[in-house]
């Protein structure tokens, strides 16, 4: 969006939704994790990240590694939560307008 945030929404059958928003400048990538096995039925809607899932060597070759010096600090901004149907519809409409503007 105009403030530099990415938005992800997983709307549920009842209209409520899980929501994740994160600053692209700090966490430029979003990974999706899905597990559907005999013992699992789970999903990570979006896992904001600095690197892909392809390992350390790949991240190094593709300038995805971020290092902190001793006593250095970093702030990573995210909003994560559940939205009721009304708020989920508002956020979905906002996301659709962002996508349509691209």
CA nearest neighbour of 19 among 49, 1, 43, 45: 45
What is the tens place of the pLDDT at every residue in 25-78? 999 999 998 999 999 999 889 999 999 999 999 999 999 999 999 999 999 999
Q: What is the pLDDT of residue 91?
A: 97
What's the whole-number average pLDDT of the chain?
95
Query: From the centroid of its chain, how far is CA 46?
Result: 4
Q: What is the pLDDT of residue 2?
A: 92
Q: What is the token pair recorded at 19?
A: 């929501």
Q: Which residues contact 31 (CB under 8 A, 6 or more apart)?
A: 44, 46, 47, 49, 52, 53
pTM of full prediction above 0.75: yes
What are the extents of the domains in the chain?
A: 5-62+74-101
Q: What is the pLDDT of residue 102?
A: 82
CA nearest neighbour of 1 among 102, 78, 98, 82: 98
């Amino acid at each position: 969006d105009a403030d530099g945030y990415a938005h992800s929404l997983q709307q549920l059958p009842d209209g409520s939704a899980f929501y994740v928003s994160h600053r692209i400048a700090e966490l430029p990538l979003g990974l999706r994790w899905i597990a559907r096995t005999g013992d699992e039925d789970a999903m990570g809607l979006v896992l904001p990240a600095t690197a892909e899932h392809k390992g350390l060597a790949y991240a190094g070759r593709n300038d995805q590694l971020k290092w902190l010096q001793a006593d250095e600090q970093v702030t990573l901004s995210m909003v994560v939560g559940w939205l009721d149907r009304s708020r989920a519809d508002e956020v979905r409409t906002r996301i659709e307008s962002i996508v349509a503007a691209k």
